[in-house]
Amino acid sequence: MQSIPTGTAYAVWVGAGAVLASAYAITNVERPTAARLLLLGGSPRALPA
């Protein structure tokens, strides 16, 4: 098995943490509004491919 670069691994973990924190906040802390869901849904599309 080959390893991935440290920067890539860091970016993946940060992205996963952001998604999980947002999901927790929307389901347990704040009310999910259409604007919040729209903005969160568009966030991954803003990243370069």
Q: What pLDDT, on a 0 to 100 scale, did the predictor assign at position 47?
A: 61
Q: How many domains does the chain divide into?
A: 1
Residue 47 lies in a domain: no
Distance of CA 35 to the CA centre of its chain: 16
Residue ranges making up the domain that contains 20: 14-42
pTM above 0.85, yes or no: no
Q: What pLDDT, on a 0 to 100 scale, did the predictor assign at position 46?
A: 62
Gap between the Cα atoms of 6 and 40, Å rounded: 26
Q: What pLDDT, on a 0 to 100 scale, did the predictor assign at position 1?
A: 45
Residue 1 lies in a domain: no
Gap between the Cα atoms of 31 and 48, Å rounded: 30
Residue 25 lies in a domain: yes
Residue 37 lies in a domain: yes
- In one-letter notation, the amino acid at residue 40 is L
Q: Is the pLDDT of residue 44 over 60?
A: yes
Q: Is the pLDDT of residue 4 over 70?
A: yes
pLDDT tens-digit map of 5-42: 999 889 889 888 888 888 888 888 888 888 888 877 77
